Amino acid sequence: MKKISKEWNEKLVTSKIDELLKNYDDGELFVEEVFSENITFDDNKIKNASYDQDRGFGIRAVSGDSVNFFHSSVINQDTLINGIKLVKKGSNLKTPQKTGFSKTNKVLYDKINPISLISLDKKITLLKNINNYARKIDNSVKQVSISLNGNFQNVEITKYNGTFFNDLRPLVRLNVNVSVEKNGRIETGSFGMGGRITYEKFFKKNNWKCAVDDAYEQAKIKLTAKQAPAGEQTVILGPGWPGILLHEAVGHGLEGDFNRKKTSAFYDLIGQKVASEQITVVDDGTIPEKRGSITIDDEGTPSENTVLIENGKLKGFMQDRLNARLMKQKPTGNGRRQSYSHIPMPRMTNTYMLSGKYEHDELIESTKKGVYATQFSGGQVDITSGKFVFSASEAYEIVNGKIGKPLKGATLIGNGPEILKEVTMVANNLELDKGIGTCGKEGQSVPVGVGQPSLKIKKLTVGGTI
């Protein structure tokens, strides 16, 4: 394989990086090349078709909790050497503390550029077929919007003493939105799927038909929905995508930087009970082909399956190298960055709750009155307090142990750490999401996965109508 960095002398660069990093606790040269495309089909025609290529490098040197960083989109030897000089000016460490480096773990995905495998014409034909199928379902369908996205990221990481890592990361996603109208009222349903795979999965007719059917059914259900009742209620969350609530309300609070700085509600609770004993939560970057999976993180640390909460007790945090070193813990393969122009920080990969012992139907049948939420849209979380607000895009009433009418306007309001203690039943039907998650933190976005089994929360505030 040809290296991205063909424009410079490797031996010279390696020696310069060594000369720089010997005065620091940690750091690396991160080189990246990304190919990406986006095709949008809307209003019966192609609205957008773009193809981009981006290349660049970042040099990071870490001393204590201070970071010197330089990045450039110009990959040549002069720019690199100048960047090293600029970063080196900030060195003030007299006794560097070197830590070892592990080699990469097993390959989690085919390292093939998904964009180049299938022609643009075939991709457009696929979107046309999806559009035609959706519009023929019935005459209530008024609008169909489809997007196809592909990304291929090649990263190279050079550490101290010439240690070198490389990863090739495919990423694809298909989204379908269907709008339906009845009596002047319009509602929209959506479905997405993807992962670290190539496009072949999307070309299988059964897969894209299911995507359309799910989006259509979601929109149609919304047409008959009544306003959600407000107040404190029993809430049952469905499997899969509702794990986004766990990701936001709890997951961010278990990232190393927030806990080192003592701004997370969990920072001093290691070994203590923080949830129902039925709850075990992990962050697992090693699941083949999942959207949040990475063979290595963006510091060169192999990804792993990290237990965060086990049987209700807090076991540990997700760590990059900087925060792990300062907290006297080990890196967990969670040092991630959006691109070469960003510094890495502790980020989730695939974060989910493990299955429990109950059947899904037992959760419903044991509930006299409550809300069953199966899909979520937007939400807000305060990391320090753990307070969250989430909007349910698909929810139903539960009456006398049975699922009733669909609800609209259901907003879940609560405190992440406190809600974990209110979980009374966890089902045995763990699902991961379909491969659509993107997580934002401090201006950086990275692909992630979420998941959970169905779970029952004894009491949770539901915003709706009184």
* Nearest-angstrom CA–CA distance, 398 and 28: 54
**In the chain, % of residues over pLDDT 90:** 85
pLDDT of residue 106: 77
Q: Under the phi-then-psi rule, with left for phi > 0, alpha for psi from -120 to 50, and beta for the rest, what region is 176? A: beta
With bands split at pLDDT 50, 70 and 90, how would you rate the model's confidence at 90? low
For the CA atoms of 156, 20, 333, 97, what is the dihedral angle to 10 degrees?
Answer: 160
pLDDT of residue 382: 82
* Span 50-73, average pLDDT: 96
Listing DSSP states for 310-357 in one string gives ETTEE---B--HHHHHHTT----S-EE-SSTTS--EE--SEEEEPP-S
pLDDT of residue 440: 92
With bands split at pLDDT 50, 70 and 90, how would you rate the model's confidence at 88? confident
Average per-residue pLDDT in the chain? 93
Q: Give the global pTM.
A: 0.94
Listing DSSP states for 133-166 in one string gives HHHTS-TTEEEEEEEEEEEEEEEEEE-GGG-EEE
Backbone angles phi, psi at 150, to 5 degrees: -135, 145
pLDDT of residue 97: 53
With bands split at pLDDT 50, 70 and 90, how would you rate the model's confidence at 159? very high
The answer to the question of residue 63 being in a domain is yes
Backbone angles phi, psi at 258, to 5 degrees: -65, -35
* Same structural domain, 14 and 158: yes
Task: Report, in angstroms and rounded to the nearest whole number, the Rg of the chain calculated over CA atoms.
Answer: 24
**In the predicted model, is pLDDT for residue 127 greater than 90?**
yes
**In the predicted model, is pLDDT for residue 93 greater than 80?**
no
* Same structural domain, 186 and 240: no
* Same structural domain, 199 and 335: no
* Same structural domain, 244 and 166: no
Backbone angles phi, psi at 2, to 5 degrees: -75, 140
Q: Which domain holds residue 121?
A: 10-223
CA nearest neighbour of 104 among 155, 138, 41, 45: 155
* Nearest-angstrom CA–CA distance, 40 and 45: 9
Element of type H or E holding 274: none
pLDDT tens digit sequence for 308-345: 999 999 999 999 999 999 999 999 999 999 999 999 99
pLDDT of residue 2: 58
Helix (H, G, I), strand (E, B) or coil at 209: helix
Number of domains in the chain: 2
* Same structural domain, 343 and 376: yes
* Nearest-angstrom CA–CA distance, 382 and 263: 10
Among residues 196, 223, 250, the one where a domain terminates is 223
- Which ranges in 48-167 belong to alpha helices (H)? 77-88, 114-117, 120-135
* Span 139-148, average pLDDT: 97
Element of type H or E holding 435: none
Give the list of residues 6+ apart from residue 81 with CB closer than 8 angstroms, or none: 16
pLDDT tens digit sequence for 382-426: 877 878 899 999 999 999 999 999 999 899 999 888 889 999 999
Among residues 223, 249, 276, the one where a domain terminates is 223
* Angle in degrees, 0-180, between the axes of helices 120-135 and 205-223, rounded to the nearest 10: 40
The answer to the question of residue 278 being in a domain is yes
pLDDT tens digit sequence for 192-241: 999 999 999 999 999 999 999 999 999 999 999 999 999 999 999 999 99
Contact status, residue 338 vs residue 411, Cβ threshold 8 Å: no
The answer to the question of residue 137 being in a domain is yes
pLDDT of residue 101: 63
* Nearest-angstrom CA–CA distance, 278 and 423: 8
Contact status, residue 90 vs residue 62, Cβ threshold 8 Å: no
Q: Which amino acid is at 267?
A: Y
* Same structural domain, 187 and 206: yes
With bands split at pLDDT 50, 70 and 90, how would you rate the model's confidence at 92? low
The answer to the question of residue 282 being in a domain is yes
Instruction: Indicate the length of the chain as a whole number.
Output: 466
Among residues 206, 223, 240, the one where a domain terminates is 223
Range in 6-15, 23-32, 119-128, 277-286 the model is least confident about: 6-15
**In the predicted model, is pLDDT for residue 94 greater than 60?**
no
Contact status, residue 280 vs residue 273, Cβ threshold 8 Å: no
